[in-house]
């Protein structure tokens, strides 16, 4: 089972520590607004790029509203990665 984290908890952790954030939105949305140090890896591309990610790291997965990030976090967890779904996504962040 994958982990989920509220946007409030994510914001607190993000402000205190450097996280591995994967933004799974399409490139144009990422270019318009994104978190500093986040990686743009659209959901349509991510499954083919998993082998480039480190299974020893924790990845916080973010999308627009949180639905796609939930699916991707579950997929990554099933493949042996530690993925945390950020509930509410970019739409809920006020960073």
CATH numbers and ranges of domains, the chain: 3-92 (3.40.250.10)
Which tens digit of pLDDT belongs to each residue from 12-62? 999 998 999 999 999 999 999 999 999 999 999 999 999 999 999 999 999
The residue among 77, 5, 68 whose CA lies nearest residue 42 is 68
Tokens of 69: 């990030």
pLDDT attached to residue 95: 63
Query: What does the alpha-carbon distance between residue 23 and residue 74 come to, in Å, rounded to a whole number?
Result: 15
- Taking residues 71-80, what's their average pLDDT? 97
Tell me the pTM: 0.94
Whether residue 2 is predicted with pLDDT greater than 90 in this model: the reply is: no
Q: How confident is the model at residue 1 (pLDDT cuts 50, 70, 90)?
A: confident
């Amino acid at each position: 089972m994958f982990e989920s984290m509220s946007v409030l908890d994510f914001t607190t952790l993000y402000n205190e520590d450097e996280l591995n954030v994967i933004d799974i939105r399409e490139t144009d949305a990422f270019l318009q607004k994104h978190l500093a140090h986040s990686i743009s890896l659209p959901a349509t591309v991510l499954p083919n790029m998993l082998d480039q990610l480190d299974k020893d790291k924790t990845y916080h997965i973010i999308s627009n509203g949180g639905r796609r990030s939930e699916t991707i976090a579950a997929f990554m967890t099933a493949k042996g990665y530690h993925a945390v779904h950020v509930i509410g996504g970019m739409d809920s962040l006020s960073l």
